[in-house]
Chain A
Amino acid sequence: MRIEEHPVLNFERGEKVSFFFNGQEVEAYPTETIAAALHALGVRKLGESPELHRPRGLFCAIGNCSSCFMTVDDEPNMRVCVIKVKPGMRVEEQHGKGVICL
């Protein structure tokens, strides 16, 4: 859920754009990171631990901790807490350690 009224802050979000989460078209603001956009959509699980397959969510939100690794436009291990939403972007839950296609 987004904050609409705040005693100190004003959120200027611009126009909504759409991107794909696990193949489904969803909407978000381009000022938001992928993690924030998914959060606003109620998505808490961003991936799984590579070996025990335990659900993984956001932890640090500043690109430090690796908890939010997802596959973005076919590139795995992307820190979605620091990558902004772009129209048409394909964001997927990552399973396993991810393979980089060279």
Chain B
Amino acid sequence: MNQVEIMVIGGGPAGLCAALAASSLGAKVLIAERDDIAGGQLVKQTHKFFGSEKQYAGDRGIQIGQMLLDNAQADPNIEIWTDSTVLGIYEDGIVTVEHEGAHAKIKPERIIIATGAAEKFLSFPGNDLPGIYGAGAVQTLMNVAGVKPAQSVLMVGAGNIGLIVSYQLKQAGVEVSAVIEGLPTIGGYLVHASKIQRAGIPVLTRHTILEAYGDGKVEGAVIAEINEKWQPIPGTEQKIPCDAICLAVGLSPLTELAWQAGCEMAYIRELSGHVPIVDDYLETTRPGIYCAGDVSGIEEASSAMVEGRLAGISAAASLGFGKEQVEELQKAAMSELDELRAGPMGAHIRLGLEKVAAKGGSKICS
């Protein structure tokens, strides 16, 4: 049995920032990361991040990921276990981990769940053909392995991920025939949409995919315009030849561990699914367990990093670390979160957080 002060589950932007913040106050931290390298989805984000300097805006996601990882690896208070999947969090506070092929038990004093999110799927005939990928898979193939996912791609979804991955495909020399989106308006940042439009990639709102076709693998898609009731408009069907269809239709919080640990959960549409109820300091209803990043509501990586920092400070503070600085650090993180969520693009997050508050949590903007 390994005793640790703080265990962080997930080594993505939230988890790394949580570990660094807790360690900076003097706590010893163990990060368990499922992949063979920490960094989460930052390792495939080749674009420059938005936000302010405090969240490293203007740097590319890959650079931010590397910087956080370098800092964590150089930190004597932080141990990183890679190839380590957390299997469960039990009533007695024991965490079980598959670590380097063996079963390990950890007894942490505090736990920060920063497991991130998984991609949503979409129903349509032919959606199981080889050549239908989640947008994250396309990024992994191109930006981590350096392998072209296809020659020509149809992108489904015009949120930030769909728009950004379309741009990255073009950068990798892959054609994108179109980005289609069921909603009447573009969900992602308009600067991303403008960037791909002027590269010759059309963004078609109020369009849906009717089917994928092909013999044993994707050879094309049939798309159509839809009306206000989301019904295809007859006569608008068109065939789009392509050898891959990329789904960027949203993310779901990866909450299995929070459920299993008995944290109180609520379905909050604006946060993209069931999320743990957390307080101002990101502590769940199970004392000593905190959540940070996409696991407690889908947002941008910039807010995940700040949430991680807030959870790390709070967990360390609850163990008696960092006494007089704590309040100031927490306030600074909260005000950064408020700022990131203050604009019109943060409206749904603010609404979602109000609902969390109404359920008894209080992770809410001032």
Let me know if chains A and B touch directly in the complex, using CB atoms closer than 8 Å.
Answer: yes
Q: Interface residues of A: mostly helix, strand, loop or mixed?
A: loop
**B246 nearest CB across to chain A (Å):** 11
Give per-residue flags for A61-87: 1 if the beta carbon is below 8 A from chain B beta carbons, else 0.
111110000000000000001101000
CB distance from A99 to the nearest CB of B (A): 20
CA distance in complex: A8, B60 (Å)? 9
B137 adjacent to A8 (CB under 8 Å): no
Q: CB within 8 A of A8: which of B36, B171, B217?
A: B171
Interface segment, B140-148, B285-293, B295-303, B349-357? B140-148
Q: B223 at the A/B interface (Cβ < 8 Å)? A: no
Instruction: Give the Cβ gap from A78 to chain B, nearest Cβ, in Å.
Output: 13
- Which residues of B sit under 8 angstroms from A39, Cβ to Cβ? 141, 145, 147, 149
Q: Which residues of A contact B140 (CB under 8 A)?
A: 36, 61-62, 81
Q: Which of A1-60 contact B (CB under 8 A)?
A: 1-3, 6-9, 11, 13, 31-33, 36, 39-40, 44-46, 49, 54-60
The verdict on A44 contacting B146 (CB below 8 Å), with A3-B173, A61-B140 known, is: no
If A1-B147, A45-B130 touch, does A60 touch B137 (CB 8 Å cutoff)?
A: yes
Residues of B within 8 A of A3 (CB): 142, 146-148, 172-173
Q: Which residue of B lies closest to A82 (CB)?
A: B35
- Do B137 and A58 have beta carbons less than 8 Å apart? yes
A7 (CB) vs chain B CBs: closest residue = B171
Distance to closest chain A CB from B310 (angstroms): 26
Q: Are B130 and A56 in contact (CB under 8 A)?
A: yes
A44-B217 in contact (CB<8A):
yes
Give the nearest-CB partner of B46 in chain A. Answer: A8
Write out the residue numbers on chain B whose beta carbons fall within 8 Å of the beta carbon of A7. 171
| One of B62, B128, B136, B147 near A2 (C-beta < 8 A) | B147
- Pair B145/A36 contact, Cβ less than 8 Å: yes
Total chain A interface residues with beta-carbon distance under 8 A: 34
Contact A60 B173 (CB under 8 A): no
Name the A residues within 8 Å of B148 (CB-CB): 1-3
Do residues A63 and B130 form an inter-chain contact, with CB atoms below 8 A? no
Q: Mark B121-151, 1 if CB is under 8 A from A, else 0.
A: 0000000111111101100111111111100
Contact B171 A6 (CB under 8 A): yes
In the complex, what distance in Å separates the CA atom of A44 from the CA atom of B147?
13
In whole angstroms, how far apart are the Cα atoms of A60 and B247 in the complex? 10
**A36 — nearest CB in chain B belongs to which residue?**
B145
Could you tell me if B137 and A59 are in contact, using CB atoms closer than 8 angstroms? yes
Q: 1/0 contact trace for B200-214 toward A, CB 8 Å?
A: 000000000000000
Asked if B119 is at the interface of the complex by the 8 Å CB criterion, the answer is yes
Q: Is the CB of B136 within 8 A of A62?
A: yes
Chain A contacts for B171, CB-based, 8 A: 6-8
User: Nearest-CB distance from B290 to chain A (Å)?
Assistant: 23
What residues of chain B lie closer than 8 Å to A55, measured between beta carbons? 129-130, 216-217
B329 on the A face (CB < 8 A): no
A33–B35 alpha-carbon span in the complex (Å): 12
Interface residues of A (CB under 8 A from B): 1-3, 6-9, 11, 13, 31-33, 36, 39-40, 44-46, 49, 54-65, 81-82, 84
B residues near A (Cβ < 8 Å) are 34-36, 46, 60, 62, 118-119, 128-134, 136-137, 140-149, 171-173, 216-217
A sample of 12 cross-chain residue pairs with beta-carbon separation below 8 angstroms, ordered by A number, consists of: A3-B147, A40-B145, A46-B130, A54-B128, A55-B217, A57-B130, A57-B217, A58-B141, A61-B136, A61-B137, A64-B118, A64-B119
Question: Which 3 pairs, one residue from A and one from B, show the smallest C-beta to C-beta distance?
Answer: A57-B130, A61-B137, A36-B145
